Structures are given as structure tokens and as C-alpha cells.
């Protein structure tokens, strides 16, 4: 592996993980240690971040330019989860490695930690669940080690005891501030601490750092979000565009009104669009539908800036989407009402900053990235559905014996190819696609399985 590839791998590991521990990621740890100076300088120069070294771990405090709605600990459901987790960190702060403790001891500490600021009652089921989530997360982050007992049992049995041991890395979890957190006056103060003053004008390298903090921690950056100086810097700095793929697995794509980082690697650990979940397939199919609808309504492939559609029309599009594609979705989406699917997709698109749900005007603002990538079912799947539909039509209008003449099958294949904008399907491939519905075949007929056809 070349040196620059090793450096890129080390940077990627630090970007995609909260921290890199020697015991859990020995290869990445040793790689970062080997190229520590270069990697440290990269984060300092390009982001204004610091590379911290702990007990057999490396950590980069990845502070975004601004807070986004999707940020936070994904396992946490309620604000109180965070409060309880802070209390857990406070308990662990002064503990030595041999200071074993029971979960009941931790529960008592957390309950008394807040005094009059927050009333925690373990008799309240939601509070108990919050404590469970916080402890489970602490264990998953290796802040504590379970020696006896199981956290899943504790979730349903309050009498369950668990014996824990601190791992001593909890002190590296919290971000290092320049002063007590209660002295900060605003969120902006917190975000810019140890980087620059919120009111301070950006100068020189600050523009590069602010742009990178935006790009790497936001799905898309719209140019109207940038300051005039950031726009000017972006237009003048071709090196910034070149350095991104040099040190990371991303390339910067610049459009008229937006900037996006596109992954050049398939197997990355961060969230990607499109992803592997069914909702990504639904979103891709919706994107293709939106592109067609926008062209019908405005004669444009997609708008330069944005396109506003009424919420009622937006929801109606999902009725059409489900009718066309629903048969290929997972059970969750097949059985869901179009309105529910619309709400799920809208939340997904908002998290990716592809849309904005304007509740006051009962409309949805669609931004260009929403139609940047569209999707459809594979050609073979579409032919299978076409074939099933034709067979059911034949059964509806004539009481036939499910023996299909080969010339009729060839005609169905030709009709499908003529109506499709994809590569033509060969007859042999078409026969392979429908083979699971065929009981017997010869040169003249396909004997079809009636039950499979009707149940498909």
C-alpha cells in the first residue's frame, strides 16, 4: 500500500468512527500512529480540528459548521437520554479501572445527580427506558465493561443486577472546551470554541476550514448558505477540489446552486444515499417520478434552484408511485397507506436536505438533488410483472388452460421491448425469467403453473 493510500485510510477511519482504539481496530490504530504527523496536520489545516491521543486510542473532535436535525446519538430517543448519559459520564470521571460497580449504584447516582434541575423517577417507564438506552450506549462505546449480568434483562426486570468495570476511556469521550460549558452564551459559541470567535471575520485558511466543515458534515451545501467570502474563495481555489479525493474517498461535485461530496468507494461505513434499505428504493423511484412530473408541469428536466409543489399534490404522487412500484416493495411499504409512505419519504428527503416541508403554506419545496439520482426496477423484474399481468388478463377474459403458445410468448417479449427504454430482453433471458412459473415446455407451448401465476 502506497504511503498516500495509508494516509487516506487513516483519515477515513478517523472521520467515520468516533475514535480508533488499538484493541478494536489494531490495523487502523498502527497506521494512524505511523503517519500521525501528516494526519494531524491534515485535520488541523483543512478543518481546524485537533487529533487527540489517549490510552491506546486516537480521536478527532469532528465539530460541524452548524447543527443539523439528523445529528445526535442515533440510539437515543428522548432529550432525557442525553441528560442521563451526561450523569453516567460524571460518575465514571473519577473511577479507577478496578472500581467495580453495580447498575443499581449507577441508577442511584443518576437519580440524585440532577437535584432540582431534572426529576428522574425509575417508577416511570420512559425514564427507565432512557437509563437503559444510555447504559447500553455507554457499553457499546466501550466506556464500561459488563462482567456479570445482561442489560437486555435489566430493560424488563428492574431487579436484574449487572456488575460493571470502567475502561478509563470515558474521560476522552466529551469534547475538550476552553472554558466551563455554562459560560457559553450561544450554540455558535460552542461550535466555534477552540477554532475562532463567532463574530470574527474568516481569513485565509479559515475559509477552507469552514467550507470543509460544511461539506463533510452536511448531505448537500447550497450556495445561498455560503458567505460572499466563502463563495469567492471557492471560485478561486481549484486546489481544494483536487485535495478532497487525494486525502479522502470523496470527490466534490459543484453544480449551479449546490455542492455535494460523492463517494468513490462502495463499502463505506457512513450513511449513503442511496442506501440498502427499502426506503432508498422508494426514494429513487419517487425521484424518477418527480423528474417526469416537473417536466410535465414546467417543461424543465429539473429546476435550477427549487420547485414548489402543494402538499396535497405531493401526497397524490405517492398513490401513483405505489400503484406502479408497490408490488416490488417490502411488506412494510406494500401494506402502508400512500399518505404514510409520503410522510416517511418526506422525512428521509428532509434529513438529506433534498426537500423542505413548508407547513405554513402546506407545500413542499423540492431542491435539484431530489432528482439527481432516479431509479427503476431491473429489466428482468419488470418483464416478470408484465408477464404475470398478461397471464392474469388472459385468465380474466377467457377461461384458458394455462398452456401458452411460444409465438404468443414471443409477442409478449417483443411488446415489452418496444415499450421499454432499456436494453432489449432476449427470448432466452425472458424464458429464464419466467421459468419458475413453467411446469413443462416444448417447442410449441409453455405449460404454466396456474396457482403460482395467480398468487404472484
Claim to verify: residue 359 and residue 396 sit in the same structural domain: no
For residue 179, being part of any structural domain is answered with: no
For residue 367, being part of any structural domain is answered with: yes
Please, are residues 110 and 131 in contact by the beta-carbon 8 Å criterion?
Answer: yes
The pLDDT, as a whole number, for residue 222 is 92
The pLDDT, as a whole number, for residue 32 is 97
Claim to verify: residue 383 and residue 358 sit in the same structural domain: no
Claim to verify: residue 360 and residue 387 sit in the same structural domain: no
For residue 313, being part of any structural domain is answered with: yes
The pLDDT, as a whole number, for residue 16 is 92
Q: Which ranges of the chain have pLDDT less than 50? A: none
For residue 139, being part of any structural domain is answered with: yes
**Long-range pairs, 292-296, Cβ under 8 A, ≥24:** 293/317, 294/366, 294/371
Claim to verify: residue 86 and residue 118 sit in the same structural domain: yes
**Angle (nearest 5°) at CA 58 between 13 and 67:** 70
For residue 193, being part of any structural domain is answered with: no
Q: Among 236, 263, 290, which residue terminates a domain?
A: 263
The enclosing domain of 301 has a CATH number of 1.10.10
- Using only the alpha carbons of the chain, give its radius of gyration: 28
Q: Alpha-carbon distance 30 to 71, whole Å?
A: 29
* Domain count of the fold of the chain: 5
Claim to verify: residue 242 and residue 326 sit in the same structural domain: no
Taking the CB of residue 155, how many other CB atoms lie within 10 A of it?
16
Q: Alpha-carbon distance 320 to 316, whole Å?
A: 7
For residue 328, being part of any structural domain is answered with: yes
The pLDDT, as a whole number, for residue 364 is 95
The pLDDT, as a whole number, for residue 268 is 60
The pLDDT, as a whole number, for residue 128 is 94
Claim to verify: residue 255 and residue 282 sit in the same structural domain: no
Taking the CB of residue 111, how many other CB atoms lie within 10 A of it?
17
What are the pLDDT digits (tens) for 21-47? 999 999 999 999 999 999 999 999 999
Provide the residue range defining the domain that includes 124: 79-172
For residue 353, being part of any structural domain is answered with: yes
For residue 29, being part of any structural domain is answered with: yes
Amino acid at each position: 500500500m502506497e504511503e498516500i493510500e495509508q494516509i487516506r485510510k487513516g483519515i477515513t477511519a478517523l472521520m467515520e468512527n468516533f475514535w480508533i482504539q488499538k484493541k478494536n481496530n489494531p490495523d487502523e490504530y498502527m497506521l494512524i500512529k505511523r503517519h500521525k504527523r501528516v494526519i494531524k496536520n491534515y485535520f488541523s489545516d483543512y478543518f481546524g480540528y485537533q487529533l487527540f491521543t489517549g490510552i491506546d486510542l486516537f480521536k478527532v473532535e469532528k465539530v460541524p459548521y452548524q447543527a443539523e436535525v439528523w445529528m445526535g446519538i442515533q440510539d437515543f430517543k428522548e432529550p432525557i437520554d442525553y441528560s442521563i448519559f451526561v450523569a453516567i459520564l460524571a460518575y465514571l470521571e473519577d473511577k479507577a479501572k478496578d472500581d467495580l460497580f453495580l447498575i443499581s449504584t449507577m441508577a442511584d447516582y443518576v437519580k440524585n445527580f440532577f437535584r432540582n434541575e431534572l426529576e428522574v423517577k425509575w417508577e416511570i417507564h420512559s425514564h427507565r427506558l432512557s437509563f437503559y438506552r444510555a447504559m447500553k450506549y455507554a457499553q457499546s462505546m466501550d466506556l464500561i465493561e459488563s462482567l456479570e449480568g445482561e442489560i437486555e434483562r435489566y430493560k424488563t426486570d428492574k431487579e436484574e443486577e449487572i456488575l460493571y468495570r470502567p475502561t478509563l476511556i470515558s474521560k476522552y469521550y466529551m469534547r475538550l472546551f476552553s472554558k466551563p460549558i455554562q459560560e457559553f452564551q450561544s450554540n455558535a459559541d460552542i461550535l466555534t470554541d477552540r477554532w475562532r470567535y463567532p463574530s470574527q471575520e474568516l481569513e485565509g485558511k479559515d475559509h477552507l476550514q469552514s467550507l470543509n466543515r460544511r461539506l463533510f458534515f452536511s448531505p448537500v451545501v447550497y450556495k445561498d448558505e455560503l458567505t460572499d467570502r466563502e463563495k469567492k474563495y471557492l471560485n478561486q481555489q481549484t486546489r481544494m477540489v483536487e485535495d478532497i479525493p487525494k486525502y479522502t474517498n470523496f470527490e466534490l461535485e459543484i453544480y449551479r446552486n449546490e455542492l455535494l461530496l460523492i463517494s468513490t468507494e462502495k463499502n463505506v461505513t457512513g450513511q449513503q444515499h442511496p442506501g440498502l434499505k427499502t426506503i432508498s428504493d422508494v426514494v429513487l423511484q419517487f425521484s424518477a417520478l418527480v423528474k417526469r412530473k416537473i417536466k410535465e408541469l414546467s417543461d424543465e428536466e429539473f429546476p435550477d434552484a427549487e420547485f414548489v409543489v402543494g402538499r396535497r399534490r405531493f401526497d397524490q404522487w405517492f398513490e401513483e408511485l405505489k400503484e406502479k412500484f408497490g408490488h416490488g416493495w417490502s411488506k412494510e411499504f406494500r401494506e402502508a397507506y400512500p399518505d404514510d409512505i409520503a410522510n416517511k419519504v418526506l422525512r428521509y428527503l428532509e434529513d438529506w436536505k433534498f426537500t423542505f416541508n413548508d407547513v405554513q403554506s402546506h407545500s413542499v419545496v423540492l431542491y435539484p438533488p431530489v432528482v439527481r439520482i432516479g431509479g427503476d426496477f431491473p429489466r428482468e423484474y419488470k418483464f416478470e410483472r408484465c408477464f404475470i399481468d398478461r397471464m392474469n388478463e388472459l385468465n380474466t377474459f377467457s377461461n384458458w388452460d394455462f398452456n401458452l403458445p411460444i409465438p404468443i410468448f414471443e409477442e409478449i417479449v417483443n411488446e415489452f421491448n418496444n415499450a421499454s427504454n432499456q436494453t432489449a430482453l432476449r427470448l432466452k433471458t425472458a424464458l429464464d425469467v419466467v421459468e419458475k412459473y413453467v411446469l413443462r415446455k416444448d417447442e410449441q407451448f409453455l405449460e404454466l403453473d396456474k396457482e403460482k401465476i395467480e398468487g404472484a
